[in-house]
Amino acid sequence: MHLTELRIQNLRNIEDQRLELAAGLNVFVGPNGAGKTSFLEAAYVLSHGSSFRTHQSEHLQRRGTETLALYAQARTRSLTRRLGLLRRDGHWTARLDGEASARLVDLFAACAVVCFEPGSHALIAGAADGRRSFLDWGVFHVEHDFAAGMRRYRRALRQRNALLKQEASDEELAIWDEELSQAAEPLGRAREAYMERFGRELVPLLDDYLPELGGVSLRFRPGWNRDMPLGEVLKEVRQRDRALGHTTRGPHRADWGLVFANAPSHEQLSRGQEKLCAIACTLAQVSLYRSIRGENPVIAFDDLCSELDAAHQAVALAALTGSGAQILLTGTEIPSALLERFPAQRLFHVEQGKVRAVL
Ligand SMILES: Nc1ncnc2c1ncn2[C@@H]1O[C@H](COP(=O)(O)OP(=O)(O)O)[C@@H](O)[C@H]1O
Ligand SMILES: [Mg+2]
């Protein structure tokens, strides 16, 4: 899919801007603080409901305004859809093809945007929740029931945690252990299946980008010992969970990571190597999405040149443009040698929250 049009009202320093995007490479240049990242953020928020820069959406809304509104036209092979997302009084509402009461989950299903940005190295070195979100975004777009399954699991988890804190009886807890167990099973299966396919896309990319690190394997930890139903595991750890006041096993504790022959711990990677790993993960997710869905997600790439050395800028852009995906790329400036090799279909100059098409 790709976005043909993006309209942004009251996002950070952008008051009201509308732009037409090309299906290929779209480049945004401009000085620091101009609003380049905010344009990428707008596309990403339409796909995720939150930003890659902050989980607190009040920071996204332009100071002193009442409504933040994002609209896009998204074209897939078979249809064009109108996407809208509004934030007012701290609440988000979705619009889909003019329908004002669309579900957020349907909006996110219709808009697929992946992103690489200066904070993306946290995918390798940061906390597990970032890796879980990355994984779940991929699973969400291939498994129709995943979002509903996750809601069911989260609801049961909240109940069990509340009961643990209230020192409820074993009988009461057993009911929720069983509910959690049933909710967890399809989540674990779907994530495991996704990870296996993701690994097949990722390993060749890492062998290519980071040969010095030796062979790589992808480790997935589902969050509990999958040889047993989660219900049995929860029974075993019940005393400990009571003492801690929360549930210590289950899909909410899942994690994954990369293990290189010459760097068994991610702490042995340089920041540059972490970034290359994160780019490889993003590209692997793109090609897996394409092989399952038959079309590309949009790729947002923020601050290319400050993130990579010249050789890797060219490698990354070759992979990005080679994917055939729509690319939204930013930089304070993009080296002309790079633009000669990878010509932009559209070039935007951004200044003080305003965008001007120069190509
Ligand atoms: N909630 C907000 N309201 C108004 N302005 C904001 C808000 N959040 C950030 N800004 C401003 O918006 C701009 C955002 O710029 P950014 O997209 O990060 O620029 P760039 O990527 O071009 O460096 C900055 O000038 C920042 O100070
Ligand atoms: Mg920026």
Please tell me if the CB atom of residue 84 comes closer than 6 angstroms to any atom of ligand 1. Answer: no
Name the residue with tokens 């002193």. 64
Task: Report the amino acid identity of residue 329.
Answer: L
Please tell me if the CB atom of residue 10 comes closer than 6 angstroms to any atom of ligand 1. Answer: no
**Strand residues in the chain grouped as ranges (E):** 2-11, 14-20, 25-29, 67-75, 80-88, 91-96, 99-102, 113-116, 216-221, 255-260, 298-301, 327-331, 346-351, 354-357
- pLDDT above 90 (res 306): no
Q: Which atom of ligand 1 is nearest to the CA of 38?
A: 17
Residues 39 and 300: their CA atoms lie apart, in Å, by 10
Q: Judge contact between 6 and 19, C-beta under 8 A.
A: yes
Please tell me if the CB atom of residue 112 comes closer than 6 angstroms to any atom of ligand 1. Answer: no
Give the Å distances, CA to CA, from 272 to 120, 176, 210.
Answer: 11, 45, 10
234 or 264: which carries more pLDDT confidence? Answer: 234
CA of 329 to the centre of ligand 1 (A): 17
% of the chain with per-residue pLDDT over 70: 100
Sign of the C-alpha dihedral computed for residues 129, 43, 26 and 331 taken in this order? negative
Residue range 97-109: mean pLDDT, rounded: 95
Please tell me if the CB atom of residue 51 comes closer than 6 angstroms to any atom of ligand 1. Answer: no
Ligand nearest to the CA of residue 35, numbered in listed order: 1
Please tell me if the CB atom of residue 62 comes closer than 6 angstroms to any atom of ligand 1. Answer: yes
Would you state the pLDDT for residue 308? Answer: 87
| Residue 304 binned pLDDT confidence (cut-offs 50, 70, 90) | confident
Give the Å distances, CA to CA, from 45 to 122, 147, 215, 281, 303.
Answer: 19, 17, 35, 20, 18
Residue range 227-244: mean pLDDT, rounded: 97
Ligand nearest to the CA of residue 39, numbered in listed order: 1
Residue range 240-261: mean pLDDT, rounded: 97
Would you state the pLDDT for residue 34? Answer: 98
Please tell me if the CB atom of residue 32 comes closer than 6 angstroms to any atom of ligand 1. Answer: yes
- pLDDT above 90 (res 106): yes
| Residue 266 binned pLDDT confidence (cut-offs 50, 70, 90) | confident
Residue range 46-72: mean pLDDT, rounded: 96
CA of 14 to the centre of ligand 2 (A): 13
CA of 290 to the centre of ligand 2 (A): 28
Residues 110 and 95: their CA atoms lie apart, in Å, by 11
Mean pLDDT of the chain: 96
Residues 354 and 319: their CA atoms lie apart, in Å, by 30
| Residue 113 binned pLDDT confidence (cut-offs 50, 70, 90) | very high
Would you state the pLDDT for residue 307? Answer: 83
CA of 132 to the centre of ligand 2 (A): 25
Q: Which of 8, 10, 12, 57 gets mutated to test ligand 1 (max ligand atoms within 8 A of its CB)?
A: 12
Q: Which tens digits make up the pLDDT trace of 129-157?
A: 999 999 999 999 999 899 999 999 999 99
